[in-house]
């Protein structure tokens, strides 16, 4: 069985410790927008290369070039 974490609106600069533990164990991360910084995106990649994400209304357009191409899940 695969473990999937779905998160969004991560307007924080710091990952909660509980989320860090869950991210270490998951197979796929889905982020539904509002990273608000490239730094947060990079931190999620550190935990898992299988990151699926879209831009949110608070994200800067330049973040789009770093996100994987959109796909239907």
In a domain, 58, yes or no: no
How many domains does the chain contain in total? 1
The pTM score is 0.84
CA 1/CA 20 separation, integer angstroms? 20
In a domain, 29, yes or no: yes
Domain assignment of residue 22, given as a range: 4-50
For residue range 35-53, list pLDDT tens digits in order: 888 888 888 888 877 899 9
pLDDT exceeds cutoff 80 at 28: yes
In a domain, 13, yes or no: yes
In a domain, 17, yes or no: yes
In a domain, 66, yes or no: no
Residue among 43, 40, 1, 48 at smallest CA distance from 23: 48
pLDDT reported for residue 30: 94
> CB under 8 Å to 41, separation ≥6 — which residues?
31, 35, 51, 53, 63, 66, 67
């Amino acid at each position: 069985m695969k473990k999937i974490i779905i998160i969004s609106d991560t307007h924080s600069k710091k990952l909660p410790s509980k989320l860090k533990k869950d991210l270490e164990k998951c197979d796929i991360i889905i982020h539904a927008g509002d990273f608000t910084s490239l730094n947060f995106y990079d931190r999620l990649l550190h935990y898992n290369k299988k990151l699926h994400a879209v831009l949110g209304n608070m994200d800067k357009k330049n973040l789009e070039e770093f996100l994987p191409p959109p796909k239907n899940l």
